[in-house]
Homo-oligomer: A and B are copies of this chain.
Amino acid sequence: MSLKHAILVLLETEPSSGYDLVKHFKRSLGYFWNAKHQQVYQQLKKLTEAQWVTFQAHSQSDKPDKKIYEITQRGKEELSKWIKQPVKTNRINDSLLVKLYGGHLAPRKNLMQELENHTEIHQSTLENLERIEQLYLSLNEEKKAHYLLPYMTLRRGIIGERAWLEWAEEVKNTLQRQSPDIKKAD
């Protein structure tokens, strides 16, 4: 849907190779948009066919050859059209919550372990985001203004992760207090 547009947003900032884009999806953008490398390459192919982007092959002697993609005029028009239109609220599909909802079918220990594992992941994501925030906050006023909007998305990450961890603590405490098994709903 808007993986196309996410790619265009990145290319509008800076011409990049597919590999660069994948790295971006793993880092900055990755908190709110996920894409695997195959998907990025597939979409770049389609975007090229639609003439929203073009590329130039760069042969490198020390590393494998790469294709540097850049956004075209047509791509810019499409992006600017997209960005002015209302976006849909995003769909949430969270398996962990499905598992918890049906948690009476799993050993209590298993649930606790699962929560612990996810807590570690969220904890380290949060630390990462906070590290990036510190970098942002140390910039001069001009640069801070420059990166304000990406910073706002970073804030979403930080606030979201803190909320997640707060919730997980609540659940772990509740489950620990509630030792007897809970029967399933009928």
User: With the chains together, A93 CA to B77 CA distance in Å?
Assistant: 23
Tell me the chain A residues, 63-86 only, with Cβ under 8 Å from chain B: 79-80, 83-84, 86
CB distance from A137 to the nearest CB of B (A): 13
User: With the chains together, A153 CA to B183 CA distance in Å?
Assistant: 16
Best-buried of A2, A31, A86 by chain B (most CB within 10 Å): A86
Q: Dominant SS at the A interface?
A: helix
Contact (Cβ within 8 A) A121 B159: no
Contact (Cβ within 8 A) A118 B93: no
Contact (Cβ within 8 A) A149 B86: no
Q: Looking at the complex, which of A41-49, A50-58, A127-135, A165-173 is the stretch in contact with chain B?
A: A165-173
Question: In the complex, given contacts A88-B95, A145-B180, what are 17 additional A-B residue pairs having Cβ atoms less than 8 angstroms apart?
Answer: A2-B98, A8-B102, A13-B185, A14-B185, A31-B92, A33-B97, A34-B92, A80-B105, A80-B106, A87-B114, A90-B96, A97-B156, A100-B149, A100-B153, A101-B150, A145-B178, A152-B171
Q: What are 13 inter-chain pairs, A to B, with CB distance below 8 A?
A: A2-B95, A9-B98, A9-B101, A13-B185, A29-B101, A32-B93, A33-B97, A33-B98, A34-B91, A90-B92, A100-B152, A159-B167, A160-B167
